[in-house]
């Protein structure tokens, strides 16, 4: 678990270190004998027959292998192929080495950025579609991958997933990503970043989001859908009275439910109320107030600055690459 940085960051400094309120992740449940045997077989195959470098083997550590096995329902052959495909993709795509020239314009407005952690120590990836500044392109996909890699690079030890907060306030149909781009992003997420989504919150969802979601829903794994929830900010409670999850009233709804509006309707689906059978959560129950953006009831006053964010992101990515290449952090080597 990373040691919390108690120094006060500047408003333009992204929060890449958990706060004291962030918990150490709970230990993963023990594997069954059958799962252990499958993991051993997958490790032997990938490390001996697929990985060409020590960096490949360090990347394909046991937590990584388990994530792929879970995503493939512990099917050994499917997991072998998926990992082989990802290793090849990472060699060619180089997702942890962003090309500044190709995505710099994408980073201009701060439509995506990583800053802060939820109480499970999962990095927060904020998305604000209203700030979309480019047309659909491969650069948009690379931009998403860039932030995913940043989130992974700052994950404390034992943390395997991130939390995504999508704020549709002020968004319009013209700013909505196209179906083709969305499908490609979903493809990359499901194939090369399996089991990386810990929780997703959709805030201020507009009416046009729901027919759009119906179009891309068939391409989203059911397990992933269960992790995505709508948040009704009108029912957000301040932290002073949001002491326990049971007292919360921000509704969550499974996006695969029949409540999703049809493309001919301009009314968003009604969010279920407490006691309707859905889970309920208050954002301040799951995200520390100093990590949660002020727009959502938190205390974080972080203001995105393109140059500062890029420089800080480059640092954590460079450190992550160094660890993969050398097996230890630069500081450990120097010591």
Average pLDDT for consecutive 10-residue bins of the chain (335 residues)?
A: 53 95 90 98 98 97 97 97 98 96 97 97 95 92 97 96 92 73 88 94 82 71 82 71 37 37 42 37 88 92 97 98 90 49
C-alpha angle with apex 161: 12 to 275, nearest 5 degrees?
100
Residue 281 corresponds to which tokens in the numbers above?
A: 């959560």
Q: In angstroms, rounded to a whole number, what is the distance separating the alpha carbons of residues 161 and 91? A: 22
Answer yes or no: are the C-beta atoms of 163 and 60 closer than 8 Å. Answer: no
3-state secondary structure of 39: helix
Q: What is the pTM of this model?
A: 0.84
């Amino acid at each position: 678990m990373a040691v919390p940085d108690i120094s006060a960051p500047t408003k333009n400094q992204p929060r890449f270190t958990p706060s004291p309120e962030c918990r150490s992740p709970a230990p993963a449940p023990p594997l069954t004998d059958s799962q252990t045997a499958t993991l051993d077989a997958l490790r032997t195959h990938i490390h001996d027959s697929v990985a060409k470098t020590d960096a490949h083997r360090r990347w394909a550590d046991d937590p990584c292998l388990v994530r792929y096995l879970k995503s493939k329902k512990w099917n050994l052959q499917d997991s072998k192929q998926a990992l082989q495909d990802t290793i090849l993709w990472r060699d060619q795509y180089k997702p942890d080495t962003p090309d500044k020239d190709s995505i710099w314009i994408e980073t201009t407005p701060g439509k995506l950025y990583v800053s802060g952690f939820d109480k499970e120590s999962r990095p927060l990836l904020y998305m604000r579609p209203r700030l979309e500044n480019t047309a659909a392109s491969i650069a948009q996909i690379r931009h998403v991958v860039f932030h995913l890699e940043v989130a992974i690079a700052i994950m404390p030890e034992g943390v395997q997933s991130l939390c995504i907060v999508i704020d549709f306030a002020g968004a319009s149909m013209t700013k909505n990503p196209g179906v083709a781009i969305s499908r490609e992003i979903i493809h990359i997420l499901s194939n090369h970043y399996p089991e990386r989504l810990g929780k997703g919150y959709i805030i201020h969802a507009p009416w046009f989001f729901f027919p759009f979601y119906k179009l891309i829903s068939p391409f989203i794994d059911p397990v992933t859908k269960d992790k995505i929830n709508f948040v009704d900010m009108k029912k957000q409670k301040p932290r002073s009275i949001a002491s326990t999850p049971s007292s919360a009233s921000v509704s969550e709804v499974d996006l695969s439910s029949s409540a999703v509006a049809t493309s001919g309707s301009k009314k968003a689906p009604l969010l279920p109320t407490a006691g309707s059978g859905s889970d309920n959560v208050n954002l301040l129950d799951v995200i520390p107030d100093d990590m949660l953006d002020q727009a959502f009831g938190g205390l974080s006053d972080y203001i995105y600055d393109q140059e500062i964010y890029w420089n800080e992101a480059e640092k954590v990515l460079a450190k992550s690459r160094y660890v993969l290449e050398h097996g230890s952090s630069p500081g450990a080597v120097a010591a």
